Amino acid sequence: MKIKSKILIIAGSDSSGGAGIQADIKTATCLGSYAMTAITAVTVQNTKGVKSVVPLPPQEIYDQIIHTGKDIRPDAIKIGMLHSPEVIKKVILSLKKLKIKNIILDPVMVAKGGAKLISDDAIQLMKKKLLREVSLITPNIPEAEILTGVKINSKEDMIFAAHKLIQAGASNILIKGGHLEAKKVHDIFVNKEEIEIFNSKRIKTFNTHGTGCTLSTAITSFFSCGKALKKSCELGIKYVNSAILTNPKIGKGNGPINHLNSIELNRFYK
C-alpha cells in the first residue's frame, strides 16, 4: 500500500501505548497516513493509571511543529493533549505560521483513571482562542459540559451544547455520546447547517483506553485523504468500534483497543 496522506499530530506520549501519541501514530499508519509528531508532554502510565506527567517546554513544542511541518507539509493536523495556556498560545502561533486549514482538535482533559491532563486556565484559553482556529472539535460529554457549562443528559442536551460551541466560534463539532447511559451510543455531528446522529451498538468492555485519541486521529486521517468531514467522522467511528470489538484484552486495568483491525498482512510476510 502506498502512503495516502501526511498528517502532523500534536499530543502527549502515553508509555502504555494505548492512548496519546502512540495511539495516534498507530491509527494514522493503519489507515494509510504518514504520521509526524510534536510531543507536548511525556506521561508515565499503564492501563491502571497515570503515574506522572512531564510537560515539554512550549518553545520546544513550537519548534517541533514548525521544523517538521515546513519540511513535510501536512495535509491535516490533529491536536490532542495541551496542558497549559503557554502551550496553547505557541500552538496557535505555529498553526498561523504553517497556514494549514485542516485541523482536528480533541480537547483532552482527563485520562481514563481520572488524572488531569490540562489546567483550568488552559481550558478557558482553548475555548476563547483555539476553538475558532480548527475545522472540527471532538469533545466527549464531560468535556462538552466543561466547555459549555451545559449539563448533558440526553441527545437534545448534546445538540444544545454543540450549538453553544458554535456560538463560541467552533465550526464543526462531534460530541461523543459514550458517557451517556443509553442502550446505544449516539455520536452527534453538528455545524450551522446540519445535525447528523451516528448510532452504534454499545460494546460491553473495560478495554477502551485511547478511544478518544484514536477516533480523532482516524477522522484526521480520512479527512486528510480528501473525504468530507462528516463522512470522515462516520468512518472514524466505524474504525474505533471495530478496534474496541477486537480489543486484545491485555493489561490489568482499562486495556487498549486494536488499532490493527484495518490491516491484513500481505503474502510476502506470511
| Positions that interact with ligand PXL (CB under 6 A) | 11-14, 19-20, 43, 45, 80-81, 108, 111-112, 117, 210, 212-213
Residue closer to ligand PXL (CB basis): 112 or 176:
112
Residue 241 has which C-alpha cell? Answer: 468500534
Rounded Cα–Cα distance for residues 230 and 129 (Å): 24
210 is catalytic: yes
- Identify which of residues 163 and 212 has a Cβ nearer to ligand PXL in the complex: 212
Query: Considering the complex, what minimum distance in angstroms separates the CB of residue 163 from ligand PXL?
Result: 25
Q: Under a CB-based contact definition with an 8 Å cutoff, are residues 108 and 118 in contact? A: yes
Q: Which of 47, 90, 178, 213 is catalytic?
A: 213
Nearer to ligand PXL, 163 or 216 (CB): 216
- Can 213 be counted among the known catalytic residues? yes
Give the shortest CB-104-to-ligand PXL separation in angstroms. Answer: 14
Q: Is 138 a catalytic residue?
A: no
Specify whether 177 is catalytic.
no
Active site residue 212: yes
Three-state SS at 248: coil
Nearest residue (CB) to ligand PXL, 12 versus 236: 12
User: Could you say which of 178, 212, 236, 255 is catalytic?
Assistant: 212
Q: How far is the CB of 157 from ligand PXL (least distance, A)?
A: 23
- How far is it, in rounded angstroms, from Cα 109 to Cα 143? 7
For the bound state, the minimum distance from the C-beta of residue 11 to ligand PXL, rounded and expressed in Å, comes to 6
Active-site residue flag, 176: yes
Catalytic residue among 208, 214, 217, 220: 208
**Which residues fall within 8 angstroms of residue 41, CB to CB, at 6 or more apart?**
12, 13, 53, 54, 55, 56, 81, 83, 117
**Which among 85, 88, 39, 35 has a CA at the least distance from the CA of 63?**
39
Whether residue 68 contacts residue 34, with contact meaning beta carbons closer than 8 Å, is answered with no
Amino acid residing at 267: R
Question: Whole-number minimum distance, CB 176 to ligand PXL, in Å?
Answer: 12
- On the 0-12 / 13-18 / 19+ scale of CB atoms within 10 A, 183 is exposed
Cell numbers representing residue 154 in the block: 440526553
Give catalytic residues, as residue numbers: 176, 208, 210-213
